[in-house]
Chains A and B, each alone.
Chain A
């Protein structure tokens, strides 16, 4: 598999990472995702990493930069389902991913995105 599928759910995009992330895959995902945001006019991106057991600093940084890029394109990013071991690794690496929103599972992440979208449309 050389591409991670990006699913569209209403005005949000859903990315489920189920394979080991290597650097090239991460960069491809970054390209695809930004392209998709423009094409669909998505307001939010949900990245599910619950089946990811190992991360390195590159993947950690990549998640951060995806969030920053999405924000520039008016879409919010929520990372959901991070495993305890992954969280500990990222903290030990000094990557606390400021500016990324997190949730325990896809359901809660979706609720977070919807609440954010509702708030913004009201404003």
Chain B
């Protein structure tokens, strides 16, 4: 695209204040989430955008990949991120840029009334540039969202695998949520490391919070149990709900020699027995 912006920087220069006022009015009228963003903040963002936009178009032409557009892109990224955090939708975020079109084109028309060709060219170049900038905010918005999702996934992974010490030599691992290969790996590693750290001989894996047990989950469990056994610790699986017991039998899953108990209390008792801890009679 060979069109260069000749008039635009000049218009921005001359009518900056008026454009800013028009633009802010435009946004205040059209926004659906009234009061979600403070007017002062909006004014600040708009003024900054105008200033950087003017600099960028003066020096960098209409190609927003050029380094002259760096500060402008940064501003848009910040605006997009802060709006995303405030709960704006992607289209509302993009409107920040798109709403600038109307006041800008009005000015262009007034200025270039005598020269239709220049008006058309200038309008076309400006609209393309603004579209790109608007899409850029959407892209940044999307990226910010993805980062949030990835972070939450990691947090969930960490949160969902606590290993607690029940007694001297007894660990418990209450598992919550669906078990996939990724999670089982983390669970296995944390449990085994904790076994070494505490020198525990018995580990209770409680699966009360695991919604379904299929062959894959059973295999993961067996692997964890086998690894713990290799290190010299015994595992007890507890929290086998009636539905899970039925599934295990229907699927003909062989849990082998693993000790299983219906609830954590029974498993704890079995673990104490195994360690030879004397218990008070008549519980």
Contact = CB atoms under 8 A, between A and B. Distances in A.
Interface of A: 79-84, 86-88, 90-92, 96-97, 102-105, 108-109
A102 B199 contact: no
B152 to A, nearest CB: 27
Contact of B201 (A87, A96, A108): A108
A102 B229 contact: yes
A87 B228 contact: yes
Task: Identify whether the interface residues of B are mostly helix, strand, loop, or mixed.
Answer: helix
26 contacts: A79-B230, A81-B232, A82-B230, A82-B231, A82-B232, A83-B231, A84-B189, A84-B192, A84-B196, A87-B230, A88-B227, A90-B230, A91-B223, A91-B226, A91-B227, A92-B223, A96-B230, A97-B230, A102-B229, A102-B231, A102-B232, A104-B196, A104-B233, A105-B232, A108-B199, A108-B232
A96 B258 CA distance: 13
A105 B193 CA distance: 14
Nearest to B190: A84
A88 B199 contact: no
Please indicate which of the listed interface residues B193, B223, B227, B233 has the most CB atoms of chain A within 10 Å of its own CB: B227
B52 interface: no
Contacts of A96: 226, 229-230
Contacts of B231: 81-84, 87, 102, 104
A107 B119 CA distance: 89
Contacts of A80: 232
Contacts of B227: 84, 87-88, 90-91
A61 to B, nearest CB: 14
Among B199, B201, B228, B230, find the residue whose CB has the most chain A CB atoms closer than 10 A.
B230
A104 B201 CA distance: 7
B258 to A, nearest CB: 12
A108 B227 CA distance: 18
Interface string B204-229: 00000000000000000001001111
> Quick one: which of B188, B229, B232, B233 has the most chain A CB within 10 A?
B232
Of A84, A97, A104, A105, the most chain B CB neighbours within 10 A belong to A84
Q: In which size bucket is the chain B interface? A: 10 to 19
A91 B201 CA distance: 19
B84 to A, nearest CB: 39
Given A97-B230, A102-B231, A88 B195 contact: no
Most central of B193, B195, B196, B201 by chain A CB within 10 Å: B196
Given A82-B230, A102-B231, A104-B233, A87 B199 contact: no
Nearest to A78: B232
Count chain A CB atoms within 10 A of each CB in B199, B201, B229 and give the residue with the most.
B229
Nearest to B189: A84
Contacts of B193: 84
A88 B226 CA distance: 9
B109 to A, nearest CB: 71
- The 3 A-B pairs of least Cβ separation, nearest first, read A84-B192, A102-B232, A103-B232
A90 B227 CA distance: 8
B278 to A, nearest CB: 18
Among B193, B195, B228, B231, find the residue whose CB has the most chain A CB atoms closer than 10 A. B231
Given A88-B188, A88-B189, A91-B223, A102 B230 contact: yes
Contacts of B195: 84, 104
Given A82-B232, A96-B230, A104-B232, A88 B196 contact: no
